[in-house]
């Protein structure tokens, strides 16, 4: 069944050029620990997309310069993929996440995240950092390596 938690933690510069690589790394992480055919591909794609969107927002809204950093944590524990994206920004209101206007160039990321993930939350930690958390539940018949 499930084994000990698998964890990937990164601290990266607030450089928007790194975002696609972060998403790809998350996708490879998921594919390396979950083996369940098509479901694995679907979950890995969704994790890539939501991490890319969350990291983009953290960099765009949470970093005042490229010298600031964001922290990312992916963890698979007891059939749940937990993702945290941490920045030093002002934060957000989850109640403001709504269906985007199809004609707007921006504003789809949080909506997509909310649609793809089973749980989305936000809080400020003891250091005053913004912590955006997402959870995805994995089918119990998935083989975890």
Mean pLDDT across 60-71: 91
Over the stretch 107-119, which tens digit does the pLDDT of each residue have?
Answer: 678 888 999 999 9
Residue 1 has pLDDT above 60, yes or no: no
Quick check: 32 pLDDT over 70? yes
Percent of the chain with pLDDT over 70: 81
Is the separation of the CB atoms in 41 and 47 below 8 Å? no
What's the average model confidence in pLDDT over 82-111? Answer: 75
Mean pLDDT within 41-63: 94
Q: If you average pLDDT over residues 46-56, what whole number do you get? A: 96
The residue that leads in pLDDT, 125 or 142, is 125
Average pLDDT over residues 67-84: 94
pLDDT at position 103 over 50: yes
The pLDDT tens digits of the residues spanning 19-31 come to 999 999 999 999 9
Domains of the chain: 6-144 (3.30.565.10)
Evaluate if residue 2 carries a pLDDT over 50: no
């Amino acid at each position: 069944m499930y084994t000990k938690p698998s964890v990937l933690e990164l601290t990266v510069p607030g450089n928007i050029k790194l975002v696609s690589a972060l998403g790809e790394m998350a996708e490879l992480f998921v594919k390396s620990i979950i083996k369940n055919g098509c479901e694995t591909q679907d979950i890995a794609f969704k994790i890539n997309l939501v991490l890319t969107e969350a990291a983009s927002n953290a960099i765009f809204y949470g970093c005042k310069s490229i010298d600031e950093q964001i922290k990312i944590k992916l963890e698979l524990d007891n059939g749940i993929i937990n993702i945290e994206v941490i920045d030093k920004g002002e934060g957000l209101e989850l109640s403001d996440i709504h269906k985007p206007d199809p004609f707007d160039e921006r504003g789809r990321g949080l909506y997509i995240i909310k649609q793809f993930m089973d749980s989305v939350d936000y809080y400020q930690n003891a250091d005053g950092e913004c912590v955006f958390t997402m959870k995805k539940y994995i089918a119990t018949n998935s083989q975890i390596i």
